[in-house]
Amino acid sequence: MKVNFEHGCLELLRGDICQEKVDAIVNAANAALAGGGGVDGAIHAAAGPTLMEECRLLGGCPTGETVATGAGRLAAKWVFHTVGPIWQGGDSGESKLLASCYQTALALAGQLGAESIAFPSVATGVYRFPLAAAAAIALGVITRHLKTNSPPFRIRMVLFDPTTLAAYQNALGQFLDPGQAIVIN
């Protein structure tokens, strides 16, 4: 599924983020940047040991922030490590922190001149952020970004399973202008 905006496009697809040929791949990392399971483990395995070596030099990353490393053996130029919030019921600033993950990754992409970026669904795995709410937050940040004239101009949400893809597809409508076309691929 693809939607064109004033200054770029958003694609929602089911796939393996490690296979993306974009300037930056976003990793749903832990605060220690120590590798882990899920998306984080898959990215580290695909990128190879140089990714962990670079992560160790960074010394961690606060929740809601994003830092960059090289991409090792991945097709991307960079891996952006962002740390999502652990869901604690919704009254501990989790929504604001999750929005910040996407905002800081997009800002970093702009600073580095990345024109394309691939995101996973941040914090919806072991961090248990409710999927529908996470999709709305992510797509709100991304669609606002695509209405400005700043890179990245091609943003892909690469979602691991049909349930996650469906949640993002369902949330997308609330961020489209009347009559805005959706291309189904």
Catalytic residue among 16, 40, 161, 177: 40
Chain centroid to Cα 21, Å, comes to 14
Cis, peptide link before residue 152, omega less than 30° from 0:
yes
Burial class (CB in 10 A: 0-12, 13-18, 19+), 89: exposed
Known catalytic membership, residue 161:
no
Q: 173: which DSSP letter?
A: G
Q: How far is CA 65 from CA 27, 31, 73, 182, in A?
A: 12, 9, 24, 31
Name beta bridge partners: 95.
Answer: none
Which residues, at least 6 apart from 174, have a Cβ–Cβ distance to it below 8 Å? 136, 139
In contact, 115 and 23? CB cutoff 8 Å:
yes
> Cα(169)–Cα(1) distance, rounded to whole angstroms?
8
Catalytic positions:
40
